Structure 1
């Protein structure tokens, strides 16, 4: 069967042409040709059926005159944000993340509860190999935050730091870390990594490295997001000096391995201008 669809009665000549074609190269005993004239929405019409001498049938619709190609109707503009513009804004947000050593306790743009929710959301969304989700965080405020940095100072003493070096460390801890509002401690759950090694042994030798990559992405996400909220901070690594006491003081599970500490607070002084090594030594581009 041949089906021809026309949108206007001015195409009746085309219908006649189809009829001729059917007579010419279609077998009348096996072919049926149905010609349809598309009805305009809500338009009055009449239908007549005129069988021809052959096996070709025509359905004729009488339509009111309509333009052959109606003018396109204007469409409302779609919400549009250039992709490159959005990517550039994201880059600017990352550029705002800096190491802010001069932090304080002036009112922040986020409440403590909002900081907790932000950290939870960012660590939750950070990617991890095989979706193992091994990153963990402990968020400290107030006296618990101060206790952490007391532990850090005691840890330095226990590891033989003394004299002028200890005094310098004491001043730095007091003004750059303990002076803030809180601290985020980042951990990796070794139990989750060990389970992954057992279940997917083919890449077991890489999982410790993959775990650190996952932690790094979680840390970067939290640090950058705090910077967007005008909250300053730095990433510290007092790990071996404090890990045992941190686990005891804050009831941290034994399988959680301490990776870094992010003290944060109000920005009391901006970071120094950042310098960059030449791009020529950092990137290779092929095929562009």
Structure 2
């Protein structure tokens, strides 16, 4: 599959040498061992490659790396200081650095991320946990990007996390948030409904909110910001579009990443049962239409 080859090519040019921190291995996959965190996806190389592919899938849907209104507030062309909170594999940072050579970039992640071998000097990635205090002074960034924390934060951690992102943003600067949002009706395909409900149930057991996406504008306003743009987009995998193909690629891999955690809940006792179930889900996704959404909000710090 060409998309897979493209992701592997990008990944090989930006491979991390190691990730520090306590590691827990479940069913052959490496997870972080930070007991204070609710994050439940792996941190291994296979997952890093998926995150890179997911980045380009999101970029395909939004036709860029930030909402259109953001450029009216952030001086990307002349030079801005940018932070990616929860930078993961660093794909968004690398992509932005190539597009905006006059900007400088900081990435922070809960798992200590070493510099990529091909990392431009304008990018620095360090350890950071947004549920605590990030190691930055107040008001230092023109643009703070934060996305896909729905599987990482507990419901009662969102307010602090967003306020921390706002704290490090300059007055007049912009914060952008993006989260997935599952639609509640999964009757179109039993296997898709089963895995979606398993994800939601697992999140609830961890104190997470699967429906945080629509709440982002309110949280940003409460944190002292003015919302400048809201752009919510459906991910319709029933259509044979480039975006749909990229997200099907992503779902094939995220199911593998989730399976060590979800398989007991799904009653899948061995690898053969897991493989058969994942195949059934992937066959069902293109029949489900408006399966899930991305909710994105950008706001200016007042």
Between structures 1 and 2, the one with greater helix share: 1
Which bin holds the TM-score, normalised by the shorter protein?
under 0.3
Structure with greater strand share of residues: 2
TM-score (norm 2): 0.21
